[in-house]
Structure 1
Amino acid sequence: MRRSILFLLTTPLLFISHSMAVVTHEFGHSFMAWMLGIKSNPLIITWGDTSALNILTLFQIGERVDYARAIGGGHNLAAALTAATGPFFVNGGLYAYFRINARLRSKSQHPGLRLMYFWLLFMNLANLYDYVPIRTFSPTGDIANICAALHISPWRIYIFIFPIVIEGIMNFYKYQIPGLCADLGLDPFDRKFLLLVSSFLMFGYYGSVGFRAIDPVSNFLAGSSILSLPFVIILYWSRSMTSRDHPHQILGSANG
């Protein structure tokens, strides 16, 4: 019964949590631009076409902020803060929120809500990952706009943010998956299911975003992400079967 519920809930929750992470990301950009005076209407964003692929993935969505005009007009700080809002303030902030609260509220949550917390945490972390490291060196996108506005090298962002993202990914595999399984009483099959789904999404789907960039560095990082997928699965496969972390240990790490 638990397994049936997990399978039934996971697919719609994946799309819902992905959409929430992406839409809040773009509106975060838009509202920050509006508050800083470089956009007139924060509710206007680009949604893209009505193809099934775009409806499911929202890959055509955009904040519709003219960064070149803002920078050209001397609004460099406003442009930098606007570009940083999506990945760092919105996705980074939501990831921190769900990382702290998923375990604190786990005992009083409905299993479906607990699973929703888990996927929201994952999707916001994955949105960080597809910027740092995957598209840090792309000549277009949020990181490029930050660097253009502040006249800094993308290496500065990479060196500062990359260790945070890696720690988040390690925490996810070491504590978040076992924590969810402990809270819901899931068996080894369910652990492997969560391991496979989250790994293919993180290193396959989100990692492959770098192939959409025009620079060879992003392409290389995307390829490296996909190639790392089997190694991650092998590394955590046996742990997903046998892990029995103490809840207090998981909670302490999640808050640390």
Structure 2
Amino acid sequence: MTSSGFMNRKQEIRDAFVYLLIVLATYFFCQTLIVIIHEHIHSTTAYLLGNMANPLAIYWGNPITLSGWDEGVEYSALFAAGEGVHAAIIAVMPLIFHAIVVTGGIYLLLSRALLQKKWAYHLVFWFIIVNLAELIAYMPIRAFSLHGDIGNINHGLGLNPWITLVVGMPLVLIMLYYLLRHVLPGMYGMVAGDSPLKQYVILITMAFFLFLFSSGIRMAQAQEWLMSLICFLAFALVILSCRPNLPWVVAEEQQFTEKIKQAGHELKTE
């Protein structure tokens, strides 16, 4: 390797490391924001249904580990009072919010709106990842839980957990398909450019946050070994099947790059 090649490689490593730090800062900022929004959607829904006196009275926890957070809704009292439907509505509303954010975010990134806005594209992408990670943590990971949001939904509506799984799981898989098949290659071309290291930073951190950080590792800590294994297998599968050098990824990235060039040309001619 020539000295210039060595310097270029060193600069690429430095740029990839800096981008990794930016990703971590972006993710944890978005995660903190989403946790606060999630709990306040619970409490606000309970307030609007007349089941909570103050929608701001949530319990604040650790924004990094996600421990200690609670919306302050007394679900046991609701079930005891025969208001199971109210409990289910309160439990499901944040999940609907996450689904809307993911769907709308994917639509936005697949449109032409952000083709000339690299950092806006970056921010929307990681905001999607935070919300999709929340959905994955609930479906399928906690589909059979007797507690938490899914447990309260099933209990409140008298649903068999399999019904929740059959309804929720396909929606999550469709979101994952569009994210990995179309949005991820766009992220490679838009943000990482021609840097393979940056592309792998995006791929590995995305897969880690989607399947391990909020799901696989926490399931292992709770000794839920089957669910933990599923999450680790999903992590490995995404890494192997979405590598930047795969032909389908390269073809999709090239199409996205052409869209960027075309959008730039249109802006110049306006």
Task: State the TM-score, normalizing by the size of structure 1.
Answer: 0.84
Offset from partner CA, 1:22-55 (integer Å, 9 cap, x none): 221111111111111111111011113xxxxx24
Whether the 8 Å CA contact 1:135–1:210 is kept in 2: the answer is no
- Distance, in Å, in 1 between the alignment partners of 2:100 and 2:249 is 31
Matched with 1:112 is: 119
Q: CA RMSD in A?
A: 2.6
- Distance, in Å, in 1 between the alignment partners of 2:214 and 2:67 is 11
Offset from partner CA, 1:73-128 (integer Å, 9 cap, x none): 122221111000122x221111122112234321253x222211000011111100
Whether the 8 Å CA contact 1:191–1:241 is kept in 2: the answer is no
Whether the 8 Å CA contact 1:15–1:56 is kept in 2: the answer is yes
Q: SS at 2:115's partner residue?
A: helix
* In the alignment, structure 1 residue 76 sits paired with structure 2 residue 84: yes
- Distance, in Å, in 1 between the alignment partners of 2:121 and 2:134 is 20
Whether the 8 Å CA contact 1:24–1:90 is kept in 2: the answer is no
Unaligned runs of 5+ in 1: 49-53, 251-256
Q: How many residues align?
A: 241
Percentage of pairs with the same residue = 25
- Distance, in Å, in 2 between the alignment partners of 1:221 and 1:190 is 30
* In the alignment, structure 1 residue 204 sits paired with structure 2 residue 212: yes
Matched with 2:30 is: 17
- Distance, in Å, in 2 between the alignment partners of 1:91 and 1:212 is 25
Once the 2 structures are TM-superposed, how far is the Cα of residue 137 of structure 1 from its aligned partner? 0.6
Out of 228, 234, 240, the residue aligned to residue 228 of structure 1 is: 234
Out of 236, 243, 247, the residue aligned to residue 256 of structure 2 is: 247
Of 233-242 and 147-156, deviating more is 233-242
Letter in 2 for 1:210: M
Letter in 1 for 2:236: P
Out of 177, 188, 209, the residue aligned to residue 181 of structure 1 is: 188
What are the residue-to-residue correspondences of 1:1-256 with 2, within 5 Å? 3=15, 6-48=19-61, 54-87=62-95, 89-104=96-111, 105-109=113-117, 111-184=118-191, 186-187=193-194, 188-208=196-216, 209-211=218-220, 219-237=225-243, 238-239=245-246, 242-243=250-251, 244-247=253-256
- Distance, in Å, in 2 between the alignment partners of 1:83 and 1:115 is 30
Whether the 8 Å CA contact 1:91–1:128 is kept in 2: the answer is yes
Q: SS at 1:181's partner residue?
A: helix
Structure 1 residues 219 and 72: alpha-carbon distance in aligned structure 2, compared to 1, 3 A threshold: farther
Matched with 1:253 is: none
Structure 1 residues 130 and 16: alpha-carbon distance in aligned structure 2, compared to 1, 3 A threshold: same
- Distance, in Å, in 2 between the alignment partners of 1:135 and 1:92 is 16
Unaligned runs of 5+ in 2: 1-10, 260-270
- Distance, in Å, in 2 between the alignment partners of 1:106 and 1:193 is 21
Once the 2 structures are TM-superposed, how far is the Cα of residue 191 of structure 1 from its aligned partner? 1.5
Letter in 2 for 1:29: H
Structure 1 residues 79 and 108: alpha-carbon distance in aligned structure 2, compared to 1, 3 A threshold: same
Whether the 8 Å CA contact 2:185–2:249 is kept in 1: the answer is no
Structure 1 residues 102 and 32: alpha-carbon distance in aligned structure 2, compared to 1, 3 A threshold: same
Letter in 1 for 2:143: T
- Distance, in Å, in 2 between the alignment partners of 1:230 and 1:248 is 27
Structure 1 residues 249 and 69: alpha-carbon distance in aligned structure 2, compared to 1, 3 A threshold: farther
- Distance, in Å, in 2 between the alignment partners of 1:101 and 1:181 is 16
Whether the 8 Å CA contact 1:138–1:144 is kept in 2: the answer is yes
